[in-house]
Amino acid sequence: MVGRNRRTVRDLRRANRSIVLQRLYFDGPLSRFELGPATGLSSGSVSNVVADLLADGVLEEAGNVDSDGGRPRTLLRVAPGSGHMIGVDVGETRVRVELFDLALTELARAERPLGSEGYEVEVVVGHIRDALTEVLATAGTAPERLLGVGIGVPGIVEHTPDRGAVVHGQTVGWDAVALESLLRERCALPAAVPYFIDNGARTLGQAEMWFGAGRGAGSAIVVLFGSGVGACVVTPEAEDGRAVEAGHLTVRVAGRRCRCGALGCLEAYAGAEALLDRWRESGGRPPEGAGQESALTALVADPGARPLLEETAEYIGAGLSDLINLFQPERILIGGWAGLRLGPALLPDVRRHAAAYALRHPAERVTIDLGGLGPDAVTVGAAILPLADFFTHGGRRADPAPEAPQPAWRAALEERTPR
């Protein structure tokens, strides 16, 4: 019978499967005896759920542990090979694609550099298509085993009922690009494999909150520094996180023109592309033929660029102070390939300037550090999107034609966060 809240027995069973699955994923291996207090479910419910998940091949036995005077207890864990996810990072310099098992162990990767054609839509879609084919072939994984393909992209992502995920990326020239529809047309994946497309800064934030330097925080802002700048904000008021265009905070009135067209944006001073332009204007000489990543490494190593870097640290600190005042987070984490290169040199000055520009009370409560997952964090976060959906469905694959996916990673995070 359906109650007033419209929950059915099937809904309850799925919710119980989800609870057990997440607890084993993040805290396992555990015995059935330990799962009771860990999940709040009765021993009978635990036994039924575990039997279901074992029959489905989602769980497996992981040895035994002695009990207090009784028979040894069997430990259970999520079976890594019971599902696979693909994470895609549509970055500023390359498209990176990685195939993972359910334990987020990398099985294969492929990269496609972005050349002079830049973000031309057909080129990016072709890179994704070819790299998907490559990683599946390299690992010998059947496409039917995929829980989904998660993709982190620059810009604002809108989920529509008729066109799927549509990307509005003003700074890269994407105007309402129906990326999901294009991928379904071009890629040879089965129709039942869902795509989960979100802002790249948000996927970075998801990765750091699940497995990186954001673990255990009730509120955090993860800032992605690459050619441009973006951020993911996680607060009690926005529990599933949201992407914000932090790169377009104004840090200088009538300042440099940003690639978005506005004046004085943080991205116009701290994005790698703009920072390299400022270095050239001040007399810096990037290595001949160097790409952005190599050129930024040379900039950081150039003693003559120290005044430029000190100025950049102040701009970053001023931009972070706006985020501190607006959201009052516990932590700010700096990631992205450019952030990880600049961070060791700039972090002390960034902290100092952020504290000077922010209100004293929220500034005293926040810590500012580098992200903990390195340059692959966006790709890992993208792979988390289908993984979170798998949890939400209680360890079953999504329907062949899912509704526009709503991120479930925050709920999963709260299930595993110690109280």
For 236-275, write each residue's pLDDT tens digit.
776 566 788 899 999 999 999 998 899 999 999 999 999 9
Q: What is the pLDDT of residue 263?
A: 95
Average pLDDT of the segment spanning 165-186: 91
Whole-angstrom CA distances from 249 to 52, 91, 141 are 50, 21, 44
Tokens of 163: 């066109």
Residue 402 clears pLDDT 70, i.e. is over it? no
Tokens of 58: 């989602």
For 151-160, write each residue's pLDDT tens digit.
999 888 999 9
Average pLDDT of the segment spanning 158-179: 90
What average pLDDT is seen over the chain? 88
Q: What is the pLDDT of residue 412?
A: 47
Instruction: Provide long-range contacts, Cβ within 8 A and 24+ apart, for 39-46.
Output: 41/16, 45/16, 46/20
Q: Report the phi/psi class of residue 164: left, alpha or beta, with left for phi > 0 and alpha for psi in -120 to 50.
A: left
DSSP 387-416: HHHHHHTTSSPPPSSPPSPPP-HHHHHHHH
Residue 1 clears pLDDT 50, i.e. is over it? no
Q: What is the pLDDT of residue 317?
A: 97
pLDDT tier at 169, thresholds 50, 70, 90: confident
Residue with tokens 């830049």: 118
The 10 Å Cβ neighbour count of residue 364 is 9
Residue 294 clears pLDDT 80, i.e. is over it? yes
Whole-angstrom CA distances from 399 to 10, 18, 172, 195, 404 are 15, 16, 33, 12, 12
Torsion of CA 42, 45, 49, 55, to 10 degrees: 120
Q: What is the pLDDT of residue 404?
A: 41
Residue 416 clears pLDDT 70, i.e. is over it? no
Helix (H, G, I), strand (E, B) or coil at 354: helix
Spatial separation of the C-alpha atoms in residues 93 and 141, rounded to whole Å: 27
pTM over 0.75: yes
**More confident position, 72 or 222:** 222
The 10 Å Cβ neighbour count of residue 304 is 12
Spatial separation of the C-alpha atoms in residues 214 and 57, rounded to whole Å: 31
Q: What is the pLDDT of residue 398?
A: 60
For 311-337, write each residue's pLDDT tens digit.
999 999 999 999 999 999 999 999 999
- The answer, yes or no, to whether the previous bond of 348 is cis (omega within 30 of 0) is no
For 54-100, write each residue's pLDDT tens digit.
999 999 988 887 776 667 888 999 999 999 999 999 987 889 999 99
For 368-395, write each residue's pLDDT tens digit.
999 999 888 999 999 999 999 999 898 8
* Percent of the chain at pLDDT exceeding 90: 68
Helix (H, G, I), strand (E, B) or coil at 310: helix
For 100-147, write each residue's pLDDT tens digit.
999 999 999 999 988 777 789 999 999 999 999 999 999 999 999 999
314 Cβ contact partners less than 8 Å away, ≥ 6 residues apart: 349, 353
Tokens of 157: 């992502």
